[in-house]
Each structure stands twice: as structure tokens, then as C-alpha cells.
């Protein structure tokens, strides 16, 4: 039995707690990150994070989410894993409605346009993303057969 086969989907209760945790800790982390220009709480789970600002698809209001990221030249890569939960993250739905975003890395904020990585890009990016954060393999295993975990590429405007 491989390591990935040991991971089962989360229960409904675990997903409810996970959503609460992501929402609340993310809100606190975003406030601290922005207030300090990215000098404090700029890591999560041992990995550098950025603040992604999308436009709410229903509200039209800015929505901010701290996320792990990978730099690829001028591009930024993020993963719509939602910690291995069965539903896609809200920020990903916002991107589908409006791909124009802002990403803050440290004190620097830049405008980007989001797109899903194609299959060839995913094949090249997953080893790098797994090296960045080994939890991604677990998350993919937890949702296997329920949904795919999109890799999103943000290109500067």
C-alpha cells in the first residue's frame, strides 16, 4: 500500500471544521501580513505565502486569501487544493468569473491574470509544487475520484 492510499476523504465534520479554520485563520493571517508589508506571518506550514485578491463572483467585493505559491520567472503558480476538501475553494470560483487579480508577495503588490495550467504544464509543475509542500500529494489523494486539484498560473498584466 502506497502512502497516498492511506489517505481517505475527510468526513463532513472534518470539512466543516476545515472550512472554519481556513476562513478564520486566513482572515487573521491576511490582516497581519498586510499590516506588516509581508514581514510577519508570511509563512504557513513552513512555506512562503502570498495574499491573493480576487473579486467576489456574487458580491463584486475584494476577497483576500493567503496561499502558498511558486514563482516561475514572472509568473506565480498556486494550487486550488483547499486542504484536500471535496469542494473547490471560493477563490477559485471567483477566478473563473473574473481572472483579473492582485497578488501581494512581501510588500509588493502586482496585477495578474489567472488561467488554469494545461496538462503539459501540470506535468512539469507538480514535481516542483510537491517539492515546495509535500501536503499537496496528500490533498490529491484525499480528493481522488471526487475532483481534480487545479494548478493556476498567474501571468503579470
Determine the pLDDT at residue 39.
97
- Residue with the bigger pLDDT between 32 and 5: it is 32
Is beta strand 47-55 parallel, antiparallel or unpaired with respect to 100-105? antiparallel
Determine the pLDDT at residue 2.
44
How far apart (Å, rounded) are the C-alpha atoms in residues 9 and 7?
7
Q: How confident is the model over 136-141, as a mean pLDDT?
A: 96
pLDDT at 45 over 90: no
pLDDT at 43 over 60: yes
pLDDT at 3 over 90: no
b/e map 42-64, b = 16+ CB within 10 Å:
bebeeeebbbbbbbeeeeeeebb
Determine the pLDDT at residue 134.
93
- Under the banding of pLDDT at 50, 70 and 90, the label for residue 1 is very low
Please state, rounded to an integer, the average pLDDT across all residues of the chain: 95
The 3-state DSSP class for residue 122 equals helix
Q: Write out pLDDT tens, residues 47-92.
A: 999 999 999 999 999 999 999 999 999 999 999 999 999 999 999 9
Determine the pLDDT at residue 151.
98
Distances (CA, A) of 36 to 29, 39, 48: 11, 5, 15
- Under the banding of pLDDT at 50, 70 and 90, the label for residue 140 is very high
pTM value is 0.94
Q: Report the CATH fold assignment for 4-156.
A: Pnp Oxidase; Chain A (2.30.110)
Q: Write out pLDDT tens, residues 100-122.
A: 999 999 999 999 999 999 999 99
Q: Which three cell numbers stand for residue 44?
A: 504557513
Amino acid at each position: 500500500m502506497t502512502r497516498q492510499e492511506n489517505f481517505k476523504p475527510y468526513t463532513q465534520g472534518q470539512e466543516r471544521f476545515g472550512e472554519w479554520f481556513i476562513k478564520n485563520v486566513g482572515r487573521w493571517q491576511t490582516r497581519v501580513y498586510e499590516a506588516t508589508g509581508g514581514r510577519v506571518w508570511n509563512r504557513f506550514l513552513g512555506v512562503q505565502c502570498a495574499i491573493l485578491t480576487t473579486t467576489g463572483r456574487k458580491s463584486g467585493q475584494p476577497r483576500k486569501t493567503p496561499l502558498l505559491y511558486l514563482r516561475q520567472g514572472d509568473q506565480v503558480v498556486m494550487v486550488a487544493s483547499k486542504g484536500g476538501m471535496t469542494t473547490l475553494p471560493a477563490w477559485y470560483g471567483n477566478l473563473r468569473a473574473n481572472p483579473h487579480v492582485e497578488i501581494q508577495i512581501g510588500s509588493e503588490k502586482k496585477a495578474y491574470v489567472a488561467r488554469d495550467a494545461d496538462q503539459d504544464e501540470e506535468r512539469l509543475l507538480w514535481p516542483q509544487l510537491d517539492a515546495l509542500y509535500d501536503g499537496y500529494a496528500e490533498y490529491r489523494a484525499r480528493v481522488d475520484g471526487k475532483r481534480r486539484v487545479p494548478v493556476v498560473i498567474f501571468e503579470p498584466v
